[in-house]
Amino acid sequence: VSYPVISLVGRPNVGKSTLFNRLSNSRQALVSDFEGLTRDRQYATVQLDDETKCSIIDTGGLTNEDSLIDTGIHEQVLSALDESDVIFFIVSNKDGVTSLDLDISSQLRKLKKNIILVCNKAEGLNQVTAAEFFELGLGEPVLISAEHNQGISELIEASIPLLPQSFEDNKTEVKGIAVAVLGRPNVGKSTLINRILGE
């Protein structure tokens, strides 16, 4: 079964893995205060609501450094973005808007994908005080605290309308009604069928 894909993207230590674990109800992704813990993509299948399943991808943090590890992370992120239907671009309220956030948002806007700006670590924050994040050019941020499970339902509600139906949902077969046209030869059965079919 092929599900729609949401990727979690952002610089290191903004809470991507914490959000991944929250959405997937797991501790699959490594979480700590050290930057760069996630190297490879992590995948999980998530039930967003009664009717919507999707795959989520946790990616490594994007940096400005050109080390071999960071180059590998960039390739992993690009691969995740390519297969994504929706991108959660995660920023940290505690850090505010950084130059790296601006760089990443500029690159994301070029992708012509559905992007939701997610402002994490936003305990007690409101939309007025979150106004600085409009600078990223991605619209109004969804305010969450992945660690404290705040704003997660709002984030899910915002993402569902942007997702295509899963392959599984599209397999629903619409069954028609069988009709038989009976009669002796040469009374116009074929003419009637052609008329019904518009031929």
Chain segment 35-73, per-residue pLDDT in tens: 444 445 678 888 898 889 899 988 877 766 543 334 444
Average pLDDT, the chain: 78
Write down the residue that tokens 């930057």 correspond to. Answer: 35
| Main-chain phi, psi angles of 5, to 5 degrees | -120, 130
**Segment 134-166, tens digit of pLDDT:** 999 999 999 999 999 999 999 999 999 999 875
Q: What is the pTM of this model?
A: 0.73
Q: Percentage of residues in the chain with pLDDT exceeding 70?
A: 72
The CATH superfamily of 5-170 is P-loop containing nucleotide triphosphate hydrolases (3.40.50.300)
Q: How far apart are CA 92 and CA 133, in angstroms?
A: 10
Q: Is the pLDDT of residue 194 over 80?
A: no
| Main-chain phi, psi angles of 2, to 5 degrees | -100, 120
pLDDT of residue 178: 63
User: Residue ranges per domain, the chain?
Assistant: 5-170
